């Protein structure tokens, strides 16, 4: 069982930045591809970004390209989401997720999920 714990969410003004972290309990963190998803109130969960085991393959949703950056530190068992130029439409609960080996843009492909961290962008 892999446990994931997100942190770093909060309230920020439009144009501001936040850095989300997701710490994992995985003994072999580098065995897992990692993803970030988000869910706004009243909406379905949507893909944000995903990264392969060693960072060689990265995917982004079109609406976050150039503003959000996913990265990972396998020595620290942690994946990050650097969020710049934030917009009110980025307001959501952000979740990290893990799946073996291959990254995916599909939420149902992921085996493990964190509890989420709230990001609120004020206009």
At residue 78, does pLDDT exceed 80? yes
pLDDT of residue 26: 77
Nearest Cα neighbor of 67 from 54, 55, 82, 51 is 82
pLDDT bin (cut points 50, 70, 90) of residue 4 is very high
Count CB neighbours of 59 within 10 A: 17
Centroid of chain to Cα 46: 11
Distances (CA, A) of 85 to 35, 63, 64, 99, 122: 20, 12, 10, 29, 12
At residue 76, does pLDDT exceed 80? yes
Per-residue pLDDT tens over the stretch 39-63: 999 999 999 999 999 999 999 999 9
At residue 1, does pLDDT exceed 90? no
- The percentage of the chain sitting over the pLDDT mark of 70, rounded to a whole number, equals 100
More confident: 2 or 94: 94
The mean of the pLDDT values for the chain is 97
């Amino acid at each position: 069982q892999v446990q994931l714990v997100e942190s770093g969410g909060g309230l920020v003004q439009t144009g501001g930045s936040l850095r989300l972290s997701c710490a994992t309990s995985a003994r072999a963190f580098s065995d897992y591809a990692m993803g970030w998803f988000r869910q706004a109130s009243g909406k379905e969960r949507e893909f944000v970004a995903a990264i392969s085991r060693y960072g060689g393959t990265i995917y982004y949703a079109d609406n976050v390209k150039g503003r959000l950056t996913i990265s990972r530190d396998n020595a620290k068992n942690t994946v990050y989401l650097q969020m710049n130029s934030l917009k009110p439409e980025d307001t959501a609960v952000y979740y990290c997720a893990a799946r073996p080996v291959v990254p995916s843009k599909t939420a149902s492909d992921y085996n493990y999920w964190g509890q989420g961290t709230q990001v609120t962008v004020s206009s």
